[in-house]
């Protein structure tokens, strides 16, 4: 709440923030070809936040709150609202799907570019993480590097003395020079550097090797942003052969169910979203063709509700017949 300021003449003055708010509301009124209703705009904002995820629905793959998804949705809403002819939602928690379809089309048009930016950002982060070590990691790597260097020097001395290498027949090239392995060439390069510089490169090489090993163990089968990403996503995450029936209809039902739940109560006690992931925004098109309706049904009894959220190890907390 804004603090009221009192002028020298004893009259109350509106804070600058209130004046700015009033100015924005006035501009919005002039821009809209239909009656301006701030409460309806708030309702639409609540609805659009569903795309970023909540307790009942997963977020759209391209809408990550950490990437500024809420701000982006507000920009899209401000841009398109004057052309929609009305608000996205209706009093009582109903959703106007034909207008929501326009918003989703705008989001879907930039979906692939969002994924491509994420891929580029992840690559940058990976390289930055390779260069940034905690003090504990640095000490560990330095100890390993020191051990490796000691082993290399000892081996070299055993072969032919300090700074000398004895080449065997199979190590020699045709001209009699020693053929070095890639690891030996890299070690020779380190030996020619100042100690501090060599240590930096050794640490970086060790960390990059760790990251490469980790990446090899954790496979990203979807690879959003790379060719074929959409097919891989549905096959890997949703296991859905029929995209429309399997995911899109359920997600549209979810949008309507959650909005109704927030404003009027449970629309159906039986309904739930049967997937762990949401469909792509670019596939949520022509959603106004769906006629969404719910059968309220009967609420679960308290013990049934507990059974739905308790892990098996907590079964002692409910009566034996339910265990």
Q: What pLDDT digit, counting tens, does each position of 213-272 carry?
A: 655 555 566 666 666 667 676 666 655 555 556 789 999 999 999 999 999 999 999 999
Residue 125 CB contacts under 8 Å (≥ 6 apart), including other chains? none
Query: Residue 165 in contact with residue 178, Cβ under 8 Å?
Result: yes
Tell whether 195 is covered by a domain: yes
**Average confidence score pLDDT of the chain:** 78
95 located within any domain: no
Q: CB–CB of 253/292 below 8 Å?
A: yes
Q: How far apart are CA 316 and CA 321, in angstroms?
A: 11
What are the distances in angstroms from CA 2 to CA 8, 11, 14, 23, 26?
19, 16, 9, 16, 19
Is residue 2 included in any domain, yes or no?
no
Which tens digits make up the pLDDT trace of 59-83? Answer: 999 999 988 999 999 999 999 999 9
> pLDDT at residue 162 above 50?
no
* H/E element, 170: none
pLDDT band at 167 (very low <50, low <70, confident <90, very high): very low
Look at residue 166 in the predicted model and tell me its pLDDT. 42
Domain membership flag for residue 104 = no
Structural domain including 153 reads 122-217
User: DSSP string spanning 108-121?
Assistant: HHTHHHHHHHHHHH
Is 109:54 a contact under the CB 8 Å cutoff?
no
Distance of CA 283 to the CA centre of its chain: 19
Task: Report if residue 316 sits inside a domain.
Answer: no
How many folded domains does the chain comprise? 1
Establish if 258 belongs to a structural domain: no
pLDDT at 287: 93
Alpha helices in 218-248 (DSSP H): 229-233, 243
Count of CB atoms situated within 10 Å of the CB of 89:
24
In a domain, 244, yes or no: no
Taking residues 91-118, report their average pLDDT: 93
Angle between the 69-84 and 38-48 helix axes, to the nearest 10 degrees? 130
Neighbours of 288 (CB within 10 A): 14
**Is residue 322 domain-resident?**
no
* Mean pLDDT of the region 193-216: 72
Give pLDDT, residue 85.
Answer: 93
């Amino acid at each position: 709440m804004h603090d009221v300021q009192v002028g020298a003449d004893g009259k109350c003055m509106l804070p600058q923030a209130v004046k700015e708010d009033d100015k924005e509301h006035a501009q919005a009124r002039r821009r809209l070809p239909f009656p301006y209703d701030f409460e309806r705009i708030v309702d639409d904002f609540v609805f659009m936040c569903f795309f970023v995820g909540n307790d009942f629905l997963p977020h759209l793959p391209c809408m990550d709150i950490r990437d500024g998804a809420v701000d982006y949705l507000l920009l899209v809403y401000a841009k398109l609202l004057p052309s929609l002819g009305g608000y996205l939602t209706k009093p009582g928690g109903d959703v106007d799907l034909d207008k929501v379809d326009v918003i989703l089309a705008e989001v879907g048009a930039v979906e692939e570019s969002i994924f491509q930016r994420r891929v580029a950002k992840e690559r940058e982060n990976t390289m930055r993480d390779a260069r940034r070590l905690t003090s504990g990691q640095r000490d560990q790597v330095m100890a390993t590097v020191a051990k490796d260097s000691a082993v290399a020097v000892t081996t070299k001395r055993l072969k032919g003395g300090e700074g000398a290498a004895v080449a065997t027949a199979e190590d020699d090239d045709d001209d009699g020079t020693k053929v070095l392995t890639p690891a030996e060439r890299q070690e020779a390069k380190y030996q020619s550097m100042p100690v501090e510089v060599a240590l930096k490169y050794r640490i970086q090489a060790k960390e990059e090797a760790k990251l490469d090993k980790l990446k090899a163990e954790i496979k990203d089968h979807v690879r959003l942003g790379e060719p074929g990403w959409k097919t891989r996503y549905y096959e890997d995450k949703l296991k859905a052969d029929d995209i429309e029936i399997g995911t899109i209809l359920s997600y549209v039902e979810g949008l309507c169910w959650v909005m109704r739940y927030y404003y009027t109560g449970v629309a159906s006690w039986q309904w739930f979203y049967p997937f762990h992931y949401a469909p792509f925004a670019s596939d949520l098109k022509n959603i106004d063709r769906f006629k969404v309706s719910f059968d309220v049904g009967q609420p679960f009894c308290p013990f049934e509700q507990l059974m739905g959220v308790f892990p098996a190890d907590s079964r002692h907390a409910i009566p034996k017949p339910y265990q």
